[in-house]
Amino acid sequence: MNKFWDLAPPLLIGMAVDVVVMKEDSLLGDLGYTDPWTQLIILSLLTFGVWVLESMFEYWFGILWRNLAQTVQHEMRMDAFRHVEKQGMGWFDERQKGDLLAIMNDDINQLERFLDKGANDILQVATTVVIVGAIFFVISWNVAIFAFLPIPIIIWGSFLYQRKLEPRYAEVRTNAGRLNALLENDLSGMSTIQSFTAEEMEANRVEEVSNEYRNANKKAIRLSAAFVPLIRMAILCGFTATLLIGGKMTLDGDMAVGAYSVLVFMTQRLLWPLTRLGETFDLYQRAMASSNRILDLIETPISLNDGDFKPKRQKVVQSTIRFEDCTFSYPGREAIFSNLNLEISPGSTIGVVGATGAGKTTLLRMLLRFCDPNSGKIEWCGKELKEWKLESLRSSIALVEQSVTLFPATIKENILYGKPGASDAEVEEAAKVAEISGFIETLPEGWSTLIGEGGKRLSGGQRQR
């Protein structure tokens, strides 16, 4: 609707020209308004009303369309994140976290940019072609044919460029993921880089990958930049044809001056927006390359299936855990366990010792179902772990790893992470059990102390507690 009101001013300009030239014989004169000054006043009021309506509809359309783009972006990101959350730890071990971050952030943002601007441009151009085409054929069908001749050429050229740009932007997005992964790793390991005085080496690695990303963009830009000049040449042909043929018909008396003015203005309104198709298809190809990466992520099969067994807490603490003939190996590696049998009785304390790589951490991963044994089974409460609801299983186990993950929030919020609905008394009791309550109380802000990203403001021992 906003495009309809946007195209009304050229019609009003044509009617104004008709009034000045034809006076009482103009279109408004035929409607009973014979005084030229009265006709101009009517046209001025109509113009004011049209501009107000066009502005209002443009405002409403902008809000609705952009909110739609933001909603699609949000839903796509949440679908991707929820899918990633369901994957096993082995899946994460095979992927770079920086690349996953690039997909769920930058690639989804690329899709939002196209929906916000590119898809809107396509809709506006299509509406313009329909409305202007109808006006052209009403005024002069033979002029309309020549004015519309460039459009099929432009559309054909657009699809041709689209096919050529697709692999180039796929390469751009792949290199963007690699660069993001490298930067994420380097920033996370900056203390290691500086301790080994490897700053120059890492800077060279970043420069190499960044250059690959830049060169991939250059190849895509080189092709996409040629599109707009070619479109303009096609538009020039259509505009010139309208100017000459319409002008000749007007000079011969076959067309009114006002109608000729409308055609000239409408030709510009019809063809000039097509110059934006170059930018639109550029956004489209970037969005398609990003969409392929997003869909590849979302369509990745989930290796761990969730069960529905949810035992009561009393039964959990009184039940034995059994590993029965468990064999496990990581993809492409030798078996860590072969026919492992282990029984853990309620209330017992067991220490597992072994050389590096012997499988101590893997044993806990299997218990938490971060990974499943290749053969054999693990039972708890008389049920195989595969039958357990993952949420129930993992909430029944407290895991403290050597490398502890803390979130950039307060101490209290991090303690609450394991039990979001816990009372203040329960939080304080948990801190006492972990032997950290005394330290917390010495802090100026106490439980509200922000611990920084990854708990950087705490010592290694304090983070583990």
pTM value is 0.69
Q: Model confidence over 41-63: pLDDT tens digits?
A: 776 777 777 777 777 777 887 78
Residue partners of 114: CB distance under 8 A and separation at least 6? 283, 284, 286, 287
Residue spans of the domains in the chain: they are 2-298, 313-395, 411-464
Secondary structure (DSSP) of 410-442 = BHHHHHHTT-TT--HHHHHHHHHHTT-HHHHHH
Q: Model confidence over 401-441: pLDDT tens digits?
A: 766 677 777 878 877 777 777 788 888 888 788 777 777 77
Average model confidence (pLDDT) for the chain?
79
Is residue 370 within 8 Å of residue 88, measured between CB atoms?
yes
**What is the per-residue pLDDT for 57?**
77
**Cβ count near 177 (within 10 Å):** 21
Confidence of residue 210 (pLDDT cuts 50, 70, 90): very high
**What is the per-residue pLDDT for 75?**
92
The two domains 2-298 and 313-395 share their CATH topology (first three levels equal): no
Spatial distance between the Cα atoms of 48 and 52, rounded to a whole number of angstroms: 6
Residue partners of 214: CB distance under 8 A and separation at least 6? none
**What is the per-residue pLDDT for 30?**
55
CATH number for the domain formed by residue range(s) 2-298? 1.20.1560.10
What angle is formed at CA 239 by the lines to CA 275 and CA 129, rounded to 5 degrees?
60
**Cβ count near 433 (within 10 Å):** 10
Confidence of residue 215 (pLDDT cuts 50, 70, 90): very high
Q: Is 100 helix (H, G, I), strand (E, B) or coil?
A: helix
Sheet containing strand 337-344, edge to edge, reads: 337-344, 321-328, 375-380, 383-384
Confidence of residue 97 (pLDDT cuts 50, 70, 90): confident
Q: Model confidence over 235-292: pLDDT tens digits?
A: 777 778 777 887 788 778 777 776 777 777 777 777 777 777 767 777 887 888 888 8
Q: Model confidence over 158-176: pLDDT tens digits?
A: 777 777 877 888 888 888 8
Name which CATH class applies to 313-395.
alpha beta
- Please report which residue ranges of 252-276 form alpha helices under DSSP H: 257-271
Spatial distance between the Cα atoms of 87 and 303, rounded to a whole number of angstroms: 6
Q: How far is CA 370 from CA 178, 377, 386, 404, in A?
A: 26, 14, 11, 16
Spatial distance between the Cα atoms of 251 and 246, rounded to a whole number of angstroms: 9
**What is the per-residue pLDDT for 212?**
92
Q: Is 301 helix (H, G, I), strand (E, B) or coil?
A: coil
Among residues 270, 195, 201, which one has the least CA distance to residue 239? 270
Q: Model confidence over 57-89: pLDDT tens digits?
A: 778 877 888 888 889 889 999 999 988 888 877
